[in-house]
Structure 1
Amino acid sequence: MRNLVLVFLGGGIGSVLRYLTVVGAAKLLPKAVFPWGVFAANILGAFTIGFLFALPWMREKTSGPWLFCATGVLGGYTTFSTLANDSWLLLLNQHSWLALLNAVGSVLLGVLAAAFGWWVGGRWAA
């Protein structure tokens, strides 16, 4: 039961943070067609999970800190379903290059961000 509460609380925090990121991006770039807020949340989340996993005390995926931070907060903060839907909407609205940039760019930059997070976390923990 404790683990479910940790994931629940973390997920709520992550979802609110994602909302704030998306709304903040929309206010900074009100005329943007590209979904910058979701893009930023996914890249920041990928970096953060890489950073966390590089910390020795965070590597146990059934531990309280991992369940709260990675599964909960980052699970609520990042979103594959919105990435997929935003890419589809870009395609429907004749923005095929932006759709491709969003889908492929999110995955490639996400992997690079996770790797960079691992590197930074490894240096920080040493």
Structure 2
Amino acid sequence: MMGEFLLVCACGGLGAVARFVLNTSIQRWWNRVFPLSTLVINITAAFFAGIAASAYFYQTVGYFTYLLFVAGFLGGFSTFSTAINEMVSLAKSNRIVMALGYFAATVIIPFLMIVLGWWIGAMGR
């Protein structure tokens, strides 16, 4: 049990490092008010979570692998709390339409990515 805990923690740390690298890279390229980096990160995480869920459902991967990847890596990689904070910051700076658009994109697009990931993971079954 302690080994599982430590491995999930290690995978979460790797996910956080990956998020930091991707976030920094996108922010250097995208120098605008709209928080694109967090949106890209959460969309990517949702897509891979959909693939992982499909792989686990169809028994392509075991529970432990699924746990390490989804709860560990993707848990450290994705960042819903940052997205909410960015929405609030946009609203406080009177960018209400942008905040509402970001809210919609943050909820709808990752949902669609989970569906797409599941569909891709289930192809050929």
1:5-59 deviations in whole A, cap 9, x for unaligned? 12101100110111111111111112x1011111000000000000111112367
Gaps in structure 2 of 5+ consecutive residues: none
Question: 2:107 and 2:45 mapped to 1: Cα distance?
Answer: 12
Q: What is the deviation of 1:3?
A: 1.5
Matches for 1:82-97 after TM superposition, within 5 Å = 82-97=82-97
| 1:97-108 equivalence runs, <5 A | 97-108=97-108
Q: TM-score, normalising length from structure 1?
A: 0.90
**Partners of 1:21 and 1:41 within 8 A in 2:** yes
Change beyond 3 A, Cα 1:59–1:111? farther
CA contact (8 A) 1:43 1:113 kept: yes
Q: Distance in 1 between matches of 2:101 and 2:68?
A: 31
Give the unaligned 5+ runs of structure 1.
none
Counterpart residue number, 1:21: 22
Match of 2:59 in 1: 57
Change beyond 3 A, Cα 1:15–1:44:
same
Percent identity, aligned pairs only?
29
SS at match of 1:57: coil
TM-score norm. by structure 2 comes to 0.91
Runs of 4+ with deviation above 6 angstroms: none
Q: Distance in 2 between matches of 1:66 and 1:14?
A: 14
Q: 1:58 to 1:79 in 2, by over 3 A?
A: farther
